[in-house]
């Protein structure tokens, strides 16, 4: 059943990408996110499904829409039921300041297949198919890079590791440098970075570091489809969260792997580029056309489709939840 609505789900991320792209470089992160959420929510209203948001904007963003537990879709009696994970914009800062690698993302799976991680942040190690099952988040960075070198048949100096450019990663960055690997630092957008490890020709071999837990789930959905792997460990950002997580019965030492995060065999992952990045082109404006590039993939078939769409601004409608339905895209540009 998910195969039948895959293109509809692509339209969801397309809508979010189109509307948020209008705020490219304006320096307003809130406007970027607000526009994307409004468009994503509006398009979801049209899809014949009973879906529950299990990974959404969440408490961290204090979101009025696409919050965890929200029901989306038409909810007609005969509609199939799914859980969905969404990030209207992975990289709001990237869009706000005109930087690369911002995407709009959605994953759908059978009921109960998507795990919820109780911390805002998680330790992550993501790799593509060649390195899946070969590395270990619990061993040193030097050991993992040595193993990756052996498996890939290249020198450590030829391996590229992507890390979020954060103060908390200073030790990680130094260890990677000491081991001799190449480093690509990114300011935001770690879903795209994790997925890029499994995209041939992306130039990314390993993603590691501490990033958002919702993003770990979305990355897991994509890597399930691509044959890659993500390993995660909960990373409480303060003592209060640490105590809450432990009291809830979670083990901070437990490693959650790809299939722990997103299980089952009926999984669809879709994304649309907002700004050009490692594996998707961004939204481009050309006279009276707007061009989007999206990716759609399923676990069952391991088929990956790139979808380039040309939207005529004179005729393009975008459904906005705040407006109660379709709005001409050209009107939003005025």
Identify which has the larger pLDDT, 4 or 173. Answer: 173
Q: What is the mean pLDDT of residues 293-312?
A: 94
Q: What is the pLDDT of residues 264-298, one digit of tens each?
A: 989 999 999 999 998 899 999 998 899 999 999 99
Q: Is the pLDDT of residue 219 over 80?
A: yes
Provide the b/e sequence for 251-276 (b: ≥16 CB within 10 Å).
eeeeebebeebbbbebbbbbbbbbbb
Q: Is the pLDDT of residue 324 over 90?
A: no
Identify which has the larger pLDDT, 263 or 332. Answer: 263
User: Domain of 310?
Assistant: 2-112+266-333
Residues 134 and 207 in one domain: yes
Cα(65)–Cα(166) distance, integer angstroms: 29
Q: What is the pLDDT of residues 194-215, one digit of tens each?
A: 999 999 899 999 999 999 999 9
Cα(196)–Cα(128) distance, integer angstroms: 8
Residues 49 and 20 in one domain: yes
Residues 125 and 256 in one domain: yes
pLDDT at 39: 94
Instruction: List, in sequence order, the alpha helices (H) in 98-238.
Output: 141-152, 170-179, 190-196, 213-226
Q: Is the pLDDT of residue 9 over 90?
A: yes
Cα(103)–Cα(99) distance, integer angstroms: 11
* Residue 301 pLDDT grade (very low, low, confident, very high; cuts 50, 70, 90): confident
pLDDT at 221: 97
Parallel, antiparallel, or unpaired: how do β-strands 160-164 and 206-212 relate? parallel
Q: Is the pLDDT of residue 144 over 60?
A: yes
Q: What mean pLDDT, rounded, does the chain reach?
A: 93
Residues 41 and 164 in one domain: no
Q: Is the pLDDT of residue 2 over 80?
A: no
Cα(334)–Cα(330) distance, integer angstroms: 7
Q: Is the pLDDT of residue 152 over 80?
A: yes
The CATH number covering residue 75 comes to 3.30.540.10
Boundary residue ending a domain (210, 231, 261): 261
Boundary residue ending a domain (239, 261, 283): 261
Q: What is the pLDDT of residues 43-70, one digit of tens each?
A: 999 999 999 999 997 554 455 678 899 9
pLDDT at 55: 94
Residues 9 and 90 in one domain: yes
- The CA angle 208-213-218, to the nearest 5 degrees, is 85
Residues 65 and 166 in one domain: no
* Residue 1 pLDDT grade (very low, low, confident, very high; cuts 50, 70, 90): low
Residues 224 and 288 in one domain: no
Q: What is the pLDDT of residues 81-125, one digit of tens each?
A: 999 999 999 999 999 999 999 999 999 999 999 999 999 999 999
């Amino acid at each position: 059943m998910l195969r039948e609505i895959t293109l509809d789900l692509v339209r969801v991320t397309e809508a979010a990408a189109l509307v948020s792209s209008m705020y490219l470089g304006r320096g307003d992160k809130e406007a970027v996110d607000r526009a994307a959420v409004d468009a994503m929510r509006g398009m979801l209203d049209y899809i014949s499904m009973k879906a529950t948001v299990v990974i959404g904007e969440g408490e961290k963003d204090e979101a009025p829409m696409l919050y965890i537990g929200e029901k989306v879709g038409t909810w007609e009696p005969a509609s199939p039921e799914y859980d969905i994970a969404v990030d209207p914009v992975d990289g709001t800062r990237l869009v706000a300041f005109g930087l690369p690698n911002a995407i709009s993302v959605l994953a759908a799976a059978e009921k109960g297949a998507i795990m919820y991680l109780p911390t805002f942040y998680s330790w992550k190690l993501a790799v593509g198919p060649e390195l899946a099952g070969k590395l270990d988040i619990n061993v040193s960075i030097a050991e993992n890079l040595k193993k990756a070198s052996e498996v890939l048949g290249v020198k450590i100096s030829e391996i590229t590791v992507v890390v979020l450019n954060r103060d908390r990663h200073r030790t990680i960055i130094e260890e990677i440098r000491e081991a001799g690997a190449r480093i690509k630092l990114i300011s935001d957008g770690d879903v795209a970075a994790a997925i890029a490890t499994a995209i041939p020709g992306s130039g990314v071999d390993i993603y590691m570091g501490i990033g958002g837990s919702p993003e770990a789930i979305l990355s897991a959905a994509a890597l399930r489809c691509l044959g890659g792997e993500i390993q995660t460990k909960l990373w409480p950002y303060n003592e209060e969260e640490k105590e809450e997580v432990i009291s809830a019965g979670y083990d901070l030492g437990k490693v959650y792997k790809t299939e722990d995060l997103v299980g089952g065999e009926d999984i669809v992952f879709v994304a649309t580029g907002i700004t050009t990045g490692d594996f998707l082109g961004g939204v481009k404006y050309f006279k009276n056309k707007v061009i989007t590039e999206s990716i759609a993939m399923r676990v069952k078939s391991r088929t990956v489709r790139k979808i380039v769409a040309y939207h005529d601004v004179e005729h393009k409608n975008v459904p906005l939840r705040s407006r109660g339905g379709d709005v001409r895209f050209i009107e939003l540009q005025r």
